[in-house]
Amino acid sequence: MSPARLHVFLGVMTALAFVGSLLIGPAAIGLDQTISALFGGDVGTVALIVKEVRLPRAILGLTIGATLGLSGAVLQGFLRNPLAEPGLIGVSGFASLGAVLTFYTGVSAAFALALPLGGIAGALISVMLLRGLAGRDASPLTLILAGVALASFAGALTSLALNFAPNPFAALEIVFWLLGSLANRSMDHVYLAVPFMLTGWVMLAFLGRSLDALTLGEDAARSLGYNLGRVQTMLIIGVSLSVGAATAVAGAIGFVGLVVPHILRPYVGHRPSALMPASALGGAVLLLCADIAVRLAAPDRELKIGVLTALIGAPFFFILVWRMRKDIS
């Protein structure tokens, strides 16, 4: 499949998954009812469910999935590390922590934008810490080790913050922030997070060419006239904006950024600039489908979407580790 065909295929899949997300739920609502609810002036119960319950969930599934897929592709390309992914290197974990601190202190209740800004600040801090911890020319293993250390540290601090939150549901909510969920998210969350994610995507979209050049090595990229310092700055801000805002409204959803670029890379001739849009679409498909599966599998239980993405992603992680082991030996 050529990259162009792959993009069309993934675009169609994304559209189908998005429609599926609007159609599937505990309340039985048909296709015709859904369409008239979305586009007609309908104000009844059905319209309320479609527009205010399912639509925000579908929009967030699409945009957050795309954010995670895109960020995974960009991070793997820039760091030339097959294991780089927002969840594994601690970006999602710190974004969660940032959001938790604004949410449970009541700051975000007074000033709604504090929630995504907290997530973004957390993500930025994690990237700074990662650079400091792993050093500039970190080997893939050093980088991942540093990332895993940061991720567990962020998880511990998030749990600690929630243990001190004056809130009887804290124990349950730790699960949300560590694993992620799209349940009962509303249009308010869409308005809070999507603008930041879009801004992040635009910044990352400019990096395609330079990441292509980077596959030839840093020196080659420099000699081709790419300013790697600027590329890094754009990448850090782009990833922090999109992953930070995504995590602030849906918790830390892992493994999407790891799995999707890996599945798609062979189809785009290992070119980061072609992998980025493909991964964004692939991430959207994966998260939308995972969210549908969560609704179908256990509608009356609180199955978190992150449990599902981890179930899909962890075996992938095993395979990658096994491959790296072979390469080393």
Partner 1 sequence: MLSWPQFAQIIRGSVIAGLIGIIASPGAIAQANRIVSLNLCTDQLVMLLADRANIASISALAEDPAISAYPEMAAGLHLNYGLAEEVLALEPDIVVTSSFGLGATTFLLRALGHEVIEVGFAGSLGDIRRNIETVADAVGLPTVGAMMAAQFSRGLALATVDAGEQRPFAALYWANGFTSGAGTLPNGVLEAAGFRTVATELGINGVQELPLELLITAEPDILVVSEIRQTSALANEVFSHPALERAFASKPTAFIPNSLWNCGTPAVLDAFAQLAQVRNRWVEDQSGVK
- Contact footprint for partner 1 (CB under 8 A): 25-27, 45, 48-49, 52-54, 103-106, 108-109, 165-170, 172-173, 176, 183-184, 186-188, 299-302
Least Å from the CB of residue 49 to partner 1: 5
Nearer to partner 1, 184 or 329 (CB): 184
Nearer to partner 1, 77 or 251 (CB): 251
Please, is 105 exposed, middle or buried when counting C-beta atoms within 10 Å of its C-beta (0-12, 13-18, 19+)? middle
Distances (CA, A) of 57 to 184, 209, 269, 280: 8, 33, 33, 17
| Amino acid at position 215, single letter | T
Least Å from the CB of residue 71 to partner 1: 24
Nearer to partner 1, 129 or 249 (CB): 249
Least Å from the CB of residue 20 to partner 1: 15
Least Å from the CB of residue 63 to partner 1: 19
Rounded to whole angstroms, the Cα distance separating 119 from 125 reads: 10
Least Å from the CB of residue 94 to partner 1: 19
- Asked whether 231 and 220 are in contact (CB, 8 A), the reply is no
Distances (CA, A) of 184 to 124, 187, 250, 324: 28, 10, 10, 40
Nearer to partner 1, 7 or 54 (CB): 54
- Asked whether 261 and 204 are in contact (CB, 8 A), the reply is no
Backbone angles phi, psi at 244, to 5 degrees: -60, -45
Least Å from the CB of residue 325 to partner 1: 40
Nearer to partner 1, 211 or 250 (CB): 250
Nearer to partner 1, 169 or 322 (CB): 169
Count of all residues that appear for the chain in the document: 329
- Asked whether 285 and 17 are in contact (CB, 8 A), the reply is yes
| Amino acid at position 303, single letter | L
